[in-house]
Amino acid sequence: MTPIPGKQKKIVVLGGLNMDLIVDTPRPAGPGETTEGTRFYTTPGGKGGNQAVAAGRLSQPGSVEMVGRVGADSYGREMTEYLNASGVGTRYLRQDSTTSSGVAVIFVDATGQNYVNAVYGANARCDAHQAADATQAMQGAGALLAQQEVPLEATFEAMKSARRLGVTVVLDPAPARPKLPDGFLQLADILTPNQTEAEALAGFPVVDAASARKAARAIKELGVPGVIVKMGELGAWVEVGGLSQHFAAFKVPVVATVGAGDAFNGGLAAGIAQGMPFGDAVWLAMAAGAMSVTKAGAQESMPTREAVERLLRKQGARR
């Protein structure tokens, strides 16, 4: 694995920040039913925040900037402090006094699977200010991480700026949106859907490496330059540039899958910004995602560079 170089390019993250309210339970309650959980706790989350922390812990200090909005409340202050403690810059994180910070209620079942209901709050007020902030932050950057938690217009404009500036765009097409602006997905250099999202885009089930390859190629035919289909314990199918390959998952004990896909995206951006060969960047992402499922929480589960390197040495990057 290529070490962090003496100087890496910046990573800019435009996306949502939510305070996660997490309930561990043997199983989520069904309609009209009450079930008893085993634990409740809060932790900073949101796909944008998660990916920023993941990238921050795998990069040189000061290499990652977060762009977004939080409320003028205790959750907003806590999330900002957590980003700072994780090495993420917050000068482009605006405080909105007109609404609350975003929250997400997450149920984690006995298998580690998670079920999420979010109320986006201040995230939903991201607008042209965030697009402008992202554009300013991207001067000299190597990667833009984006998702679909904040209003798509802001993300769309930021991706347009990234294309003009030559910044690699890694887009997580989650949460799913019923309608996307024309040309939205095509501005992503690398699209990283999970199985469910890949199924929705390709129009057929994704259940294994073969169907993931077929889905990735179908999505590329929509005009998306590169696609990585994330499949959890089944690994990932990568269809980017000249690389067409299945990357097998690392074998680790699973505590909770909250944030695993975000850890992957953060690791991928870190590898890209550090100038790694693309296959190595994917292995870094795979290891980051694997390590994240060994701990509870969202941002709390994002691994350090040392932990990821240990996993890579122990199990080996299977090139």
> What is the structure's pLDDT at 319?
43
> Which residues 6+ apart lie within 8 Å of 133 measured at CB?
67, 92, 94
Residue 41 pLDDT exceeds 60: yes
Residue 257 pLDDT exceeds 90: no
Cα separation, 226 vs 188, in Å, equals 8
Q: Is 40 exposed, middle or buried (0-12, 13-18, 19+ CB in 10 A)?
A: exposed
Residue 262 annotated to the active site: yes
In degrees and rounded to multiples of 5, residue 95 shows phi and psi of -100, 125
Residue 268 pLDDT exceeds 50: yes
β-bridge pairing 64-71 and 93-96: parallel
Q: Which residue ranges make up each domain of the chain?
A: 10-15+46-95+125-315
For 145, the 3-state DSSP assignment is strand
* DSSP string for residues in 72-119: SSHHHHHHHHHHHHTTEE-TTEEEETTSPPEEEEEEE-TTS-EEEEEE
Q: Is 229 in contact with 252 (CB distance < 8 Å)?
A: no
| pLDDT tens-digit series, residues 84-135 | 999 999 999 999 999 999 999 989 899 888 888 889 999 999 999 999 999 9
Taking Cα atoms as reference points, which of 120, 88, 91, 87 lies closest to residue 103? 120
* Span 179-187, average pLDDT: 96
| pLDDT tens-digit series, residues 205-231 | 999 999 999 999 999 999 999 999 999
Residue 141 pLDDT exceeds 70: yes
> What is the structure's pLDDT at 63?
97
Residue 151 pLDDT grade (very low, low, confident, very high; cuts 50, 70, 90): very high
> Which residues 6+ apart lie within 8 Å of 102 measured at CB?
16, 17, 18, 19, 46, 70, 71, 118, 119, 120, 121, 122, 123, 124, 149
Instruction: Copy the structure tokens of residue 230.
Output: 């994330």
* Span 135-139, average pLDDT: 98
Instruction: Copy the structure tokens of residue 255.
Output: 């505590």
Residue 46 pLDDT exceeds 80: yes
Q: Is 272 in contact with 309 (CB distance < 8 Å)?
A: no
Of 96, 208, 262, 280, which is the active-site residue? 262
> What is the structure's pLDDT at 4?
59
> Which residues 6+ apart lie within 8 Å of 132 measured at CB?
none
pLDDT above 70: percentage of residues in the chain = 97
Q: Classify residue 169 by its DSSP letter.
A: E
Q: How much is the mean pLDDT over the chain?
A: 94
Fold classification of 10-15+46-95+125-315 (topology level):
UDP-N-acetylmuramoyl-L-alanine:D-glutamate ligase (3.40.1190)
